[in-house]
């Protein structure tokens, strides 16, 4: 099969998170053996689309071994399953996210676990389905599993009294924020979406289900608090969030640079003791994937694809992902 692999450094200094590989180290290689299901739960996927994440070459998991195949999001067709208990069969159209420790989705074929897969919504293209998992799963886990929001899956909405609960989302127009806004609206929360510019983002955020939009600079002057605050920005914006969350509320950050924010903010004396505050890293979740697929089928959850590239142009796509561009959504590789 063909796959994009990260080739080792030609110099004596190896690539690492501290010395990230350049995009030129990503090469399209040929005649790579196709992986085979060898354990219960293994599923071999013929990959149709996968995604590019801008800081992937700074992740520790990228350097677990030489010639690593990157990529975690995927959409494709089941080719083979390990015999035994599984709901999937050859020919099924599926989507999902491989665990960070394995990745390997920038390839014609990928081996995943059945807990990392859900049936693809029929109304989504391969590219749209591949764009959902990492960002939408992060949003789902932040809202449902960490902040404790309940959603009635059958109706696609929470009980009507949930509108009394309020949520503030920072970075609401960003790659994860746009999914938190949509899921909060599905859950029936009173949703306030914050971003750097109402002029650029207000119309979209209201269209996605926000009840209000507000710029960061306006938040402090409003003297308001929310039951739930989910931050995707970090830095000073996250530090300010302690002023916005209720004393018994939840503060969740998904900004990768904020992994130890609770400890740091406690040392600075700005932490509220009774707030449920945490950072987390998304993990594959079959129930969440199935819920996201359900909302997408109902037209309640909209995926965003910024642009598509062929697999052979993965290096160029990664360069593009690192630049500020006009538009929203994921860069997708067609396989």
Q: Are residues 26 and 315 in contact, defined by beta-carbon separation less than 8 angstroms?
A: yes
For 267-303, the DSSP string reads HTT---TTSEEEE------HHHHHHHHHHHHTT-S--
Domain 136-279 fold is Rossmann fold (3.40.50)
What single DSSP character describes residue 258? G
CA-based max dimension of the chain: 62
Domain 3-132+303-334 fold is Quinone Oxidoreductase; Chain A, domain 1 (3.90.180)
- Residue-level pLDDT at 322: 78
- Residue-level pLDDT at 160: 47
Query: Which residues, at least 6 apart from 96, have a Cβ–Cβ distance to it below 8 Å?
Result: 73, 74, 112, 116, 117, 118, 133, 284, 289
pLDDT in tens, the chain (335 residues): 999 999 999 888 899 999 999 999 999 999 999 999 999 999 999 999 999 998 899 999 899 889 999 999 999 999 999 998 889 999 999 999 999 888 899 999 999 999 999 999 999 999 999 999 999 999 999 999 999 998 876 554 444 445 669 999 999 999 999 999 999 999 999 999 999 999 999 999 999 999 999 999 899 888 899 999 999 999 999 999 999 999 999 999 999 889 999 999 999 999 999 999 999 999 999 999 999 999 999 999 999 999 999 999 999 999 988 776 667 899 999 99
User: pTM of the predicted model, to two decimals?
Assistant: 0.93
Q: Are residues 33 and 9 in contact, defined by beta-carbon separation less than 8 angstroms?
A: no
Query: Which residues, at least 6 apart from 289, have a Cβ–Cβ distance to it below 8 Å?
Result: 95, 96, 97, 116, 117, 118, 133, 137
For the chain, give every domain's residue range. 3-132+303-334, 136-279
If one counts every other C-beta atom within 10 angstroms of the C-beta of residue 37, the result is: 18
């Amino acid at each position: 099969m063909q796959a994009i692999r990260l080739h080792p450094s030609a110099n004596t200094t190896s690539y690492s998170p501290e010395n990230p590989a350049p995009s030129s180290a990503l090469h399209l290689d040929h005649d790579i053996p196709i992986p085979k299901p060898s354990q219960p739960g293994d599923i071999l996927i013929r990959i149709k689309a996968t995604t590019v994440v801008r800081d992937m070459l700074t992740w520790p998991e990228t350097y677990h071994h030489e010639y690593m195949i990157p990529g975690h999001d995927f959409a494709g067709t089941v080719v083979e399953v390990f015999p035994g208990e599984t709901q999937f069969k050859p020919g099924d159209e599926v989507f999902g996210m491989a665990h960070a420790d394995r990745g390997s989705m920038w390839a014609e074929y990928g081996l995943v676990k059945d807990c990392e897969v859900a049936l693809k919504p029929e109304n989504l293209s391969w590219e749209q389905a591949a764009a959902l998992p990492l960002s939408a799963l992060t949003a789902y886990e932040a809202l449902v599993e960490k902040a404790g929001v309940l959603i009635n899956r059958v109706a696609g909405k929470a009980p009507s009294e949930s509108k009394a609960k309020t949520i503030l989302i920072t970075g609401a127009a960003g790659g994860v924020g746009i999914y938190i806004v949509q899921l909060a609206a599905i859950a029936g929360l009173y949703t306030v979406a914050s971003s750097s510019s109402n002029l650029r983002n207000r119309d979209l955020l209201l269209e996605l289900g926000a009840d209000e939009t507000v710029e960061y600079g306006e938040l402090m002057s409003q003297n308001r608090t929310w039951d739930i605050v989910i931050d995707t920005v970090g830095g000073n914006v996250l530090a300010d969030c302690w002023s916005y969350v209720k004393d018994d509320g939840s503060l969740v950050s998904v900004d990768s640079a904020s992994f130890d924010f609770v400890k740091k903010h406690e040392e600075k004396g700005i932490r509220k003791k009774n707030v449920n505050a945490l950072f987390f890293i998304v993990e594959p979740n079959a129930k969440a994937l199935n819920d996201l697929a359900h909302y997408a089928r109902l037209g309640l959850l909209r995926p965003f694809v910024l642009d598509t590239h062929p697999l052979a142009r993965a290096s160029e796509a990664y360069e593009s992902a690192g630049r500020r561009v006009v538009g929203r959504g994921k860069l997708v590789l067609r396989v």
